[in-house]
Structures are given as structure tokens and as C-alpha cells.
Copies of this chain bind each other. A is one copy, B any other.
Amino acid sequence: MNVIHIKSQSRNQLIDITRMVGDVVQQHSVQDGICIVFVPHTTAGVTVNENADPDVQRDILLGLERMACHADYHHCEGNSDAHLKASLMGSSQLIPVENGSLVLGTWQGIYFAEFDGPRQRRVIVQILNSTAGR
């Protein structure tokens, strides 16, 4: 069980963790398999999206804000939008591993999705060996 520690800086934030996840993959001897990124929080998630123009991350957060804001939430902590956004992004992501490295598209990065920061957060990274017959 590999744990990455993160400190988010604002209430809504997409934090690029691609290199940190890639480092965990490098430390394992798995050549072919899958990498699982799991977020053990309920007001944060994880997503895979563009790593080039930071405006994409800003726009994703803006779009989610418009979708998840709502006048009639009941939850007393006042962060129901964060819980909804976490479920929309998901608490886990899967990335293939080949030749000991993450198989990501040219423009793909892995983002920790903070929706109720700033906070100290954790991300769990697992690697499973592919034992598929060929």
C-alpha cells in the first residue's frame, strides 16, 4: 500500500500527481499491469485530464461548480456540492502499466480533485501485475 501525501491550497483545486504516481510505479518491479489511484476522502476525488493548458483545469472546476451548486441542500456542514463533485469525478482511477511505466496519452495527467480544501489529503496507489495469458 503506497500512500502519497498532499496539501491542497484552495477550496477547489486540481493538483497534478502524475509524477508522484509514476514514481510509485517505477519503484515496483511490475512490468505489465494496472495502476490504481484511490482517494480515501468524500469531498475529493481523482480524474485524468489535460496536462498542458492550466485553463482546462480552471474550466473543469468552473463547470463542476455550476453543475453542483444548489440552493436547497440540507447537509449541515454546507459542503454538499463537494460530496457531489467527488462522486462525479470518482474516488478511483485506473491507468495501464507497460514496460514498468504508466501508459498515459500525450496530453493526459492524473489529477487529485480537491473540492473542500485547503486540507491535508492522502492518495493510495496500488499496482497489480497482469497475469493474463497471451
Contacts and interface: CB of A to CB of B under 8 A. Distances in A.
Counted per complex, copies of this chain come to 3
B38 A133 contact: no
Contacts of A67: 63, 67-68
A128 B96 CA distance: 11
A128 to B, nearest CB: 6
Interface of A: 1, 28-30, 32-34, 36, 38-42, 47-50, 53, 55-56, 58-60, 62-64, 66-68, 70, 72-77, 80-81, 83-84, 86-96, 98, 103-108, 124, 126-134
5 contacts: A29-B132, A55-B73, A59-B83, A67-B67, A129-B130
